[in-house]
């Protein structure tokens, strides 16, 4: 998967499994979609899973995300907007990570507020960095006690859940301390000197959007950046599984 939301301009896929209120049968989400559609039900019961960050033992639901290959950041967020309701309530949530023994470790415990008169709204977004391929995260939502089933149904239908993992190049920047390898940035080019390895490169804008990509069988010496606007960019040079990351300003 910065440490706030990095939504790339991508059409996300939402993968849905049978929905229940335990982590073992949580629907797997890789993208975004309506909470009611993902969950598949409009009523909740209690899982009974202990929690150390809230005394709420009431109804809850779980949603699962697995980190894809090459990603280093996970973002989990929920946005609620419903017309025709008037309320003010806090919705508690947990983000948990599956550990090596199959148990769950709490990563984040927090709440977000849903409020308004005639039209209610609220949202949260959490980003976790330093993740690896195959890491499994869960979002656990607690149902506020005392809600009528019709109110819960409206909130589920008016809430959009997003669980995504992305590669954020700004998290992989390392010091440029290779004495032989050097680079010079001009208005239109990045010139590489003493590059004997890298034959593939990508350039990312600071918001994580890839703006230039090139693959070649030849070592890269010059990169044309004339099409880029002024700003901060991240150049990722690659050779097989080896990477060198350079942050530069045009």
Q: Which residue has the higher pLDDT, 2 or 50?
A: 50
Q: Is the pLDDT of residue 190 over 80?
A: yes
Q: What is the pLDDT of residue 66?
A: 94
Element (H, E) at 154: helix 149-157
Q: Among 167, 184, 202, which residue terminates a domain?
A: 167
Q: pLDDT by residue (tens digit) across 132-151?
A: 889 999 998 887 765 655 66
Q: What is the pLDDT of residue 223?
A: 93
Do 29 and 141 reside in the same domain of the chain? yes
Question: For residue 12, what are the CA distances in angstroms to 74, 95, 165, 242?
Answer: 14, 21, 11, 28
pTM: 0.60
Do 125 and 68 reside in the same domain of the chain? yes
Q: pLDDT by residue (tens digit) across 215-234?
A: 777 888 999 999 998 888 88
Q: Is the pLDDT of residue 161 over 80?
A: yes
**56 pLDDT tier (thresholds 50, 70, 90):** low
Per the structure, the count of domains in the chain is: 2
Whether residue 80 is contained in a domain is answered as yes
**CATH code of 84's domain:** 2.60.120
Do 36 and 158 reside in the same domain of the chain? yes
Q: Which residue has the higher pLDDT, 42 or 159?
A: 159
Whether residue 160 is contained in a domain is answered as yes
Please give the residue range of the domain that contains residue 55: 23-167
Whether residue 2 is contained in a domain is answered as no
Do 87 and 143 reside in the same domain of the chain? yes
Do 64 and 188 reside in the same domain of the chain? no
Do 151 and 184 reside in the same domain of the chain? no
**CATH code of 219's domain:** 2.60.40.3080
Provide the CB-side half-sphere exposure for 100 (13 A, CA): 0
Q: What is the pLDDT of residue 64?
A: 92
Q: Which of 204, 62, 246, 203 is nearest to 143 (CA)?
A: 62
Whether residue 16 is contained in a domain is answered as no
Rounded distance, CA 143 to CA 138, Å?
16
Q: What is the pLDDT of residue 225?
A: 92
What value does the mean pLDDT of the chain take?
76
User: Helix (H) and strand (E) counts for the chain?
Assistant: 2, 15
Do 161 and 217 reside in the same domain of the chain? no
């Amino acid at each position: 998967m910065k440490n706030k939301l990095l939504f790339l301009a991508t059409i996300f896929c939402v993968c849905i499994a049978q929905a229940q209120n335990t982590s073992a049968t949580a629907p797997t989400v890789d993208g975004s979609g309506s909470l009611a559609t993902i969950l598949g039900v409009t009523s909740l019961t209690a899982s009974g899973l202990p929690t150390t960050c809230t005394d709420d033992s009431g109804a809850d639901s779980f949603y699962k995300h697995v980190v894809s290959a090459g990603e280093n950041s996970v973002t989990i967020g929920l946005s609620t907007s419903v017309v025709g309701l008037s309320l003010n309530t806090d919705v508690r949530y947990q983000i948990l990570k599956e550990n090596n023994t199959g148990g769950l470790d709490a990563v984040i415990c927090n709440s977000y507020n849903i409020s308004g008169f005639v039209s209610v709204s609220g949202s949260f977004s959490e980003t976790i960095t330093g993740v690896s391929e195959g890491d499994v995260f869960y979002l656990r939502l607690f149902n506020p006690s005392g809600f009528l089933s019709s109110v819960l149904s409206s909130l589920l239908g008016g809430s959009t859940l997003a669980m995504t993992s992305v590669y954020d190049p700004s998290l992989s920047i390392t010091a440029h301390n290779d004495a032989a390898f050097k680079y010079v940035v001009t208005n239109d080019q990045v010139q590489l000197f003493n590059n004997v390895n890298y034959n593939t490169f990508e350039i990312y804008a600071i918001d994580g959007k890839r703006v230039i990509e090139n693959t070649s069988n030849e070592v890269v010496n010059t990169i044309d950046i004339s099409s880029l606007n002024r700003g901060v960019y991240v150049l990722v040079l690659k050779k097989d599984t080896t990477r060198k990351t350079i942050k530069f300003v045009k």
